[in-house]
A = this chain, B = another copy of it.
């Protein structure tokens, strides 16, 4: 699956910013892939890129319209169908991260068939995965892991891809969730594959590569989250990372959507090494990314410094302070690459 670029971002008439999180993420990380946004009357979100009609977007070179929104239940509202059919008829492919498949809507399926356009449901991979083999592959891999879900693992991985490229590394972000897939144009939503194939999907996503190449893999869930730890473990085994970065949100009081307390960063390091060495005995922690959005500047600096001292690896907020320290640590720990 490779989604053609550039994109037109469809925001529909979503009621708030949160519903447009996917579109915002694409603009944050791949502004130059986006020709504009297409909004319906009443839309309360704004990705702060030019508003365009579908015809204007096609003239500007757009190849794919991305349904860059989420809504309750993952269902596509009926009143969006007309715009999607218009886009298909204007020559655009359509890509969606909703649970509901585009092809389940007859008017959309029919238009795509008639016009020879592609429909991408990025939550549902078309790939037929093998079960994981656990065999060591060439090339290097870094995985972001977390003390919880939604603590910034995707942002950390994207920041590390950028930082490593700036430092001369041959590095590619590998997406494991819908927003990441739009940002990289490929990937697999690992939480949507059949359970037997989690590690196999991760192996497919991060294939053998030259020894100096780094896959920077977006993590999912947490080994300590009672809902999703199975996905996290399968991804860890399949990605067989040489290096991992722990992501953490210091103001959170319990795991997302459940009542369990957060593990410490130290517990996550220990559990990741204990499980990860099954497929990569040399696995090591190379840094900690702290999401300090809710802290003031002084508090943010203090917690990064304190955490770095406590665990003996660089710690930073990748958005606020960058990832130079972590990239330098990777360069030091893996001198051949």
Given A191-B195, A195-B231, A230-B232; 18 other pairs, CB 8 A cutoff:
A131-B227, A131-B257, A134-B226, A134-B259, A135-B258, A191-B194, A191-B196, A193-B194, A196-B228, A198-B231, A199-B228, A199-B230, A200-B227, A223-B275, A226-B237, A229-B278, A233-B233, A260-B278
Known: A135-B259, A278-B260. A226 touches B199 (CB 8 A): yes
Q: How far is the CA of A227 from the CA of B135 in the complex (A)?
A: 10
B192 touching A258, Cβ below 8 Å? no
Contact A230 B230 (CB under 8 A): yes
Contact call A196/B192, Cβ cutoff below 8 A: yes
In the complex, per-residue mask of A268-282: 1 if CB is within 8 Å of any chain B CB, else 0: 000100110011000
Is A12 close to B, CB under 8 A? no
B134 touches A230 (CB 8 A): no
CB of A126 to closest CB in B, whole Å: 15
State the CA gap A68–B196 with chains docked (Å).
22
CB pair A258–B226 under 8 Å, yes or no, is no
Q: Please name all residues of chain B whose beta carbon is closer than 8 Å to the beta carbon of A275 when the two chains form the complex.
A: 223, 229
Contact B258 A133 (CB under 8 A): yes
Least Cβ–Cβ distance between A233 and chain B, in angstroms: 5
Interface readout for A231-242 with B: 1 if CB under 8 Å, 0 if not? Answer: 111110110000
Asked if B227 and A230 make an inter-chain contact with CB atoms under 8 angstroms apart, the answer reads no
**Which of A224, A234, A279 is the most central at the interface, judged by chain B CB atoms within 10 Å of its CB?**
A234
Q: Is A226 a contact of B192 with CB atoms below 8 Å? A: no
Contact A260 B134 (CB under 8 A): yes
| A25 located at the interface, meaning its Cβ lies under 8 Å from any Cβ of chain B in the complex | no
Within 8 Å of chain B (Cβ to Cβ): is A250?
A: no
Pick the contact of A230: B133, B195, B258 (CB < 8 A). B195
Q: Which residues of B contact A227 (CB under 8 A)?
A: 131-134, 196, 199-200
Q: Which residue of B lies closest to A267 (CB)?
A: B274
